[in-house]
Chain A
């Protein structure tokens, strides 16, 4: 028994190291003086000295703030769109015959399988025509494709978990369809609403394919970061990477208790 426990802890330790190491490297290149990191062929594995100079210099040399603001706005739009379409769709699907609902769910699943780069290019061609190319609304509209199916699944799961009689009772008590939805059903799916919002937000924050194709001239932060990397600006890139990673990591840690397989697979599991 003892040996097996030691084995377990050894595996846990090795896995933990593997998963944390890249973030540790990000920490090193952000806070250790350049002479010990990029200045060395074989950089030090331990923080020999710490400095904020890398980050301060980066802020002076390139614009980090604008892409962040853009990403933030786009993510907000995407999350809002997810709720605006996901809540009604989830509600409607929970009310119609489950056979038909499942067909629609499968249809949405197909959308999720559609390669982003395949649809992004024709979309870009269309968006030029309607003035949404190099435009934040354009990015949000296209990124919504990535999150809408999952949003609908999550909301559908939420609405299906409410006892049916509550809605019936509200109707009996004199509420119309929309009143019952607004006053009874939606307040009861608040956790699903939060999860949908945050997952959509995070997905958009991370999204690269649509962003780089639809709006190369008005880049969100992943696209800008890519530009810095390809232009060989590693200090700026590392400062940037650190700034965008910290909040999302905190968010992921908070979201952890909601990040159940059920949500991530659209209610198909569990």
Chain B
């Protein structure tokens, strides 16, 4: 089976800045794929290049095996939800959702039918006659989603669609988005810098760094087996701890990486100097120094600042030259 979306050697340069650098990526049909990366790593550019608003310097884009690199956005059969939703302010909710159908040349009755159907599913049918400028953030997001879904395109691109919502709405909207994706059985490519969104939404996550995909996998993979030290540092609420290999009887060229949660403090062969501690819910996190390495360790008690705390590592990965060594 061919991939739903395939990017080959996609390169994007603005002025002197290389934004996408020979990027390769294949996304499967029906997948909820999250592209995760710190801000300014070209995530939005990637989506805008896929949808056809930006033209790549080189490389190719395939949708369902069809090369769409040369096509304008309206001929690519891809929907996109922009970060600010880009609702047409001169139209009502109904007209906004109907717009893609009108463009596709559907007749009035089937437009009305389809718009009502999708609006009912997303629970905004009561707002259809309103002006979009009067809607709340959550409602705007749903209208944008309806407008994307209604024409049933090959796939959907979403550019941080939840970032403009306040925290409480964001969690429910997140759940809803996941449900919708499964219910419609559609391919979603979702860009975010928010790890919790990646964790809760994605079938697979691609981590973007300097215009390249650094690692692809489930969020769990990325968390437990980050393929590079950079991913290990970026993923997780605390960066992964690294210590020199010889401390655990390994070769000098190797490093040991472990999460704050993968240790037991109070006893063990390893020791570090406590700099500070903080209480998160019922657990202490200890900021400690071992030589010139900074560590974060989970602890069931609060050790004295400046004291030495001993700990043992229950689970770890081995890294060589910044990359993981499969064990």
Contact = CB atoms under 8 A, between A and B. Distances in A.
Interface stretch (A127-135, A165-173, A231-239, A245-253): A165-173
Interface residues of B, number: 22
B151 interface: yes
A188 interface: yes
A172 B88 contact: no
Contacts of B147: 173
Contacts of A177: 72
A172 B78 contact: yes
Contacts of B53: 168, 171-172
A174 B102 CA distance: 9
B86 interface: yes
B89 interface: yes
Contact of B84 (A163, A170, A183): A163
Interface residues of A, number: 18
A172 B84 contact: no
Given A174-B74, A174-B103, A175-B74, A169 B82 contact: yes
Contact of B103 (A165, A168, A175, A188): A175
A163 B90 CA distance: 13
Given A172-B80, A173-B99, A174-B100, A166 B86 contact: yes
A187 B103 contact: no
A269 B151 CA distance: 44
Interface string A183-209: 110011000000000000000000000
A43 interface: no
B37 to A, nearest CB: 21
B159 to A, nearest CB: 9
Interface string B32-76: 000000000000000010011100000000000000000011100
B90 A174 contact: no
Contact of A168 (B73, B89, B99): B73
B89 A174 contact: no
A176 B80 contact: no
A82 B100 CA distance: 32
A169 B80 contact: yes
A63 interface: no
B294 to A, nearest CB: 41
Chain B CB within 10 A, most for which of A172, A174, A176, A179: A172
A63 B100 CA distance: 57
Contacts of A187: 90
Interface string A105-139: 00000000000000000000000000000000000
Contacts of B99: 170, 173, 175, 183
A168 B90 contact: no
B160 to A, nearest CB: 13
B74 A169 contact: no
Given A165-B82, A179-B103, A171 B90 contact: no
B73 A172 contact: yes
A170 B84 CA distance: 14
A171 B86 contact: no
B103 A169 contact: no
B79 interface: yes
Interface string B88-104: 11100000000110011
A9 B79 CA distance: 61
Contacts of A165: 82, 84, 86
A192 B157 CA distance: 33
Interface string A147-181: 00000000000000001011011111111110100
A172 B90 contact: no
Given A174-B74, A174-B151, A175-B74, A168 B100 contact: no
A174 B104 CA distance: 7
A12 to B, nearest CB: 39
A175 B91 CA distance: 15
A169 B147 CA distance: 10
B90 A173 contact: no
B103 A172 contact: no
Complex A-B, nearest 6 residue pairs according to Cβ-Cβ distance, in ascending order: A174-B103, A169-B86, A171-B73, A173-B100, A165-B86, A187-B90
Given A172-B79, A173-B103, 5 more contacts: A166-B88, A171-B74, A172-B51, A172-B78, A173-B79
Interface of B: 48, 51-53, 72-74, 78-80, 82, 84, 86, 88-90, 99-100, 103-104, 147, 151
21 contacts: A163-B84, A165-B82, A168-B48, A168-B53, A169-B80, A169-B88, A171-B53, A171-B72, A171-B73, A171-B74, A172-B51, A172-B52, A173-B79, A173-B147, A174-B100, A174-B104, A176-B72, A176-B74, A177-B72, A179-B103, A188-B90
